């Protein structure tokens, strides 16, 4: 799991949007507190936290990763080494919370055996929180379903940590959210907060695929396939530095064909497009409606188009051409999506496909063109920006960085849902502590920033 923090400008931006006390200097101590960095120390790094961090440096990089970064060097990017401590444009090994081949999750790091043994700690698995218990405007607990049994849990304060896609539905089912939407569904309004479920953010991206020569494939025993990355500034008017990102991953999927492929991942590191999460009118207790609305902001689309041209330029360089058999825009067909589902049958049939692709250029190109790259070629993309834009609209995807749907801000800001302490406006006894309270998605994977939120908010609660 990537363990990059983002840029100082991200958190100063949070504060400018009303999240007082969440600027870079205020959050840095909690980034340091959560980590135990095995590679770097100094004033920007922690060494005693529960989340172990490590990197794979250049002498350990497999073929496709190494070739991609060599191409980036020839394009003028420099080695930064420390992504979490040097905030310029360049390439670097990605910090990972992956120690001894195992991901260090928030669960394994914080819910240790000693914590689980505490007399004041209970954890219920397979429990679904249907709604909050409300007395007037005071939250007094939660209503839960578990193994078919419904019951209530009372509490002086409830802290919701169900994520950017599920925290808004819980609030809305309980009467906290946009009044017009709740009334339309017959839900009694407790607190009219129009921002609940709005401002959904992600990092929109597209991919080029590469069928790798045998010597360029992922080295057996490496703990990850996402090893190094390039960060650069688009120069787009009004957009901060470090707003674009490319990751050359040395494995495309879990199955045998994926083992033979690399992916050049491009995403907008500083995105502006917003979507929404709304209740499912047919079943408000079911999965919500989610519309990411990616690349709806023209700034994102323009930079994606320019980024595709950067990817194409890199992929045409001899450093990459020497280690690949084919390079192509990824436009997955229906069949490729089906075999992406983990199963023994899919493992078997992709193993057969992989043997054919290794043995025959005809079979390889047929499978690529009919399953993996069903859209335009790179040459066709580069003919004009409208072709690139059409391809982006058809293939754009997120990176599991959903955030910002219950954002922090000032009480008189209609889009804000919580104050800077995570307290939900309009009610008492309720906080939110997850990625939904981010005012804007940071220029980073959201993993470490979300843990930082937990560290900072827990410290504030203990002080109260």
Q: Which residues are catalytic?
A: 401
Pairing of strands 289-291, 35-37: unpaired
* Distance separating alpha carbons of residues 170 and 177, to the nearest angstrom: 10
Closest CA to 194 of 171, 215, 212, 228: 171
Residue 418 pairs in a beta bridge with 408, 424
Strands (DSSP E) found in 356-458? 430-432
Burial of 180 (0-12, 13-18, 19+ CB in 10 A): exposed
The DSSP call for residue 225 is S
* Distance separating alpha carbons of residues 368 and 377, to the nearest angstrom: 11
Whole-Å CA distances, 233 to 72, 87, 90, 269: 14, 11, 10, 10
Q: Which residues contact 64 (CB under 8 A, 6 or more apart)?
A: 210, 212, 216, 217, 248, 250, 262, 320, 323, 324
Residue recorded with tokens 């990176």: 399
N-to-C CA span, the chain: 33
Closest CA to 405 of 203, 195, 132: 195
Closest CA to 392 of 199, 231, 202, 208: 208
Q: In the chain, how long is the greatest CA-to-CA distance?
A: 70
Closest CA to 440 of 21, 6, 13: 13
Closest CA to 31 of 77, 85, 81: 85
């Amino acid at each position: 799991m990537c363990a990059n923090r983002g840029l100082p400008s991200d958190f100063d931006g949070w504060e400018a949007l009303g999240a007082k006390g969440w600027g870079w200097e205020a959050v840095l101590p909690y980034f340091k507190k959560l980590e135990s960095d095995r590679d770097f120390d100094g004033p920007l790094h922690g060494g005693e936290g529960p989340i172990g961090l490590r990197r794979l440096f250049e002498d350990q990089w497999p073929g496709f990763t190494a070739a991609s970064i060599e191409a980036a060097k020839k394009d003028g990017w420099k080695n930064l080494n420390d992504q979490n401590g040097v905030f310029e444009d360049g390439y670097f090994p990605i910090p990972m919370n992956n120690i001894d081949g195992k991901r260090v999750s928030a669960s394994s790091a914080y819910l240790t055996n000693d914590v689980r043994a505490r007399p004041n700690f209970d954890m219920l698995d397979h429990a679904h929180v249907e709604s909050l218990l409300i007395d007037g405007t005071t939250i007094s607990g939660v209503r839960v379903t578990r193994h078919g049994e419904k019951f209530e849990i009372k509490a002086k304060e409830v802290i919701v940590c169900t994520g950017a896609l599920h925290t808004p539905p819980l609030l809305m089912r309980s009467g906290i959210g946009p009044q017009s939407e709740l009334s339309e569904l017959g839900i009694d309004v407790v607190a009219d907060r129009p921002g609940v479920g709005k401002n959904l953010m992600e990092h929109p991206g597209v991919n080029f695929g590469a069928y790798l020569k045998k010597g360029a494939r992922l080295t057996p025993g490496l703990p990850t396939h996402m090893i190094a990355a390039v960060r650069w500034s688009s120069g787009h008017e009004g957009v901060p530095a470090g707003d674009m990102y490319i990751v050359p991953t040395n494995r495309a999927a879990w199955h045998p064909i994926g083992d033979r492929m690399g992916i050049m991942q491009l995403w907008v590191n500083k995105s502006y497009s917003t979507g929404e999460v709304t209740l499912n009118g047919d079943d408000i207790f079911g999965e919500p409606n989610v519309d990411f609305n990616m690349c709806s902001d023209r700034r994102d689309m323009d930079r994606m188009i320019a980024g595709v041209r950067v990817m194409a330029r890199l992929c045409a360089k001899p450093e990459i051409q020497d280690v690949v058999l084919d390079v192509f825009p990824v436009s997955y067909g229906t069949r490729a999506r089906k075999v992406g589902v983990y199963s023994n049958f899919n493992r078997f049939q992709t193993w057969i496909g992989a043997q054919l692709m290794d043995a025959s250029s005809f079979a390889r190109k047929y499978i690529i063109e009919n399953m993996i790259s069903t859209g335009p070629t790179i040459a066709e993309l580069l003919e004009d920006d409208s072709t690139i834009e059409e391809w982006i609209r058809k293939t754009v995807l997120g990176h599991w960085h959903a955030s910002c749907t219950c954002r922090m801000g000032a009480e008189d800001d209609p889009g804000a849902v919580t104050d800077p302490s995570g307290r939900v406006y309009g009610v008492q006894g309720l906080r939110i502590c997850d990625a939904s309270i981010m005012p804007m998605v940071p220029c980073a994977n959201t993993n470490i920033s979300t843990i930082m939120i937990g560290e900072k908010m827990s410290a504030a609660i203990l002080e109260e």
